[in-house]
């Protein structure tokens, strides 16, 4: 009879241990799915942040281009140095903005290099 109780208790211990193990696995799976969801949310937040930053920079560039065009409508010509002073930007940024406006066929470059270069509005857009 003692041996039957022993096996019964041993079986109960094994069963309780097995159930505890299953519960632990289920808790880990639940935590894992929560962490995965948090990671996905963080990825989305990071993407949205990057997209918003890019959109803000694009809006800033568009505003700078409008200021250049507005200056040209009032003064007829503009140089790289004038763009730098007007927008408080670097030489390379001024050059890039003027190049973009030229590619968009909104302005024309007059002259080839150096201080002889200036820009006018393109009144013959195609």
> Measured between alpha carbons, how far is 27 from 19 in angstroms, rounded to an integer?
12
**pTM above the 0.85 mark?**
no
SS3 90: coil
Whether residue 78 lies inside any domain: the answer is yes
> Measured between alpha carbons, how far is 59 from 30 in angstroms, rounded to an integer?
43
Q: Which residues pair with 119 in a beta bridge?
A: 78, 109
Whether residue 126 lies inside any domain: the answer is no
> Measured between alpha carbons, how far is 41 from 47 in angstroms, rounded to an integer?
10
Whether residue 115 lies inside any domain: the answer is yes
> Measured between alpha carbons, how far is 103 from 125 in angstroms, rounded to an integer?
11
Which pLDDT does position 2 carry in this prediction? 84
Domain count, the chain: 1
Which pLDDT does position 48 carry in this prediction? 84
> Measured between alpha carbons, how far is 78 from 84 in angstroms, rounded to an integer?
10
- The more confident residue out of 123 and 73 is 73
Which pLDDT does position 125 carry in this prediction? 64
* Domain span including residue 55: 2-121
CATH for 40: 1.10.10.10
């Amino acid at each position: 009879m003692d041996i039957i109780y022993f096996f019964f208790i041993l079986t109960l211990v094994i069963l309780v241990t097995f159930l505890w193990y299953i519960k632990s696995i289920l808790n880990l799976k639940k935590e894992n799915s929560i962490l995965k969801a948090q990671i996905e949310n963080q990825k989305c937040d990071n993407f949205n942040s990057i997209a918003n930053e890019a959109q803000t920079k694009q809006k800033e560039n568009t505003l700078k281009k409008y200021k250049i065009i507005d200056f040209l409508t009032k003064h007829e010509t503009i140089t790289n140095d004038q763009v730098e002073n007007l927008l408080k930007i670097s030489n390379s940024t001024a050059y890039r903005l003027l190049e973009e406006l030229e590619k968009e066929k909104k302005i024309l470059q007059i002259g080839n290099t150096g201080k002889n270069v200036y820009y006018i509005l393109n009144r013959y857009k195609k």
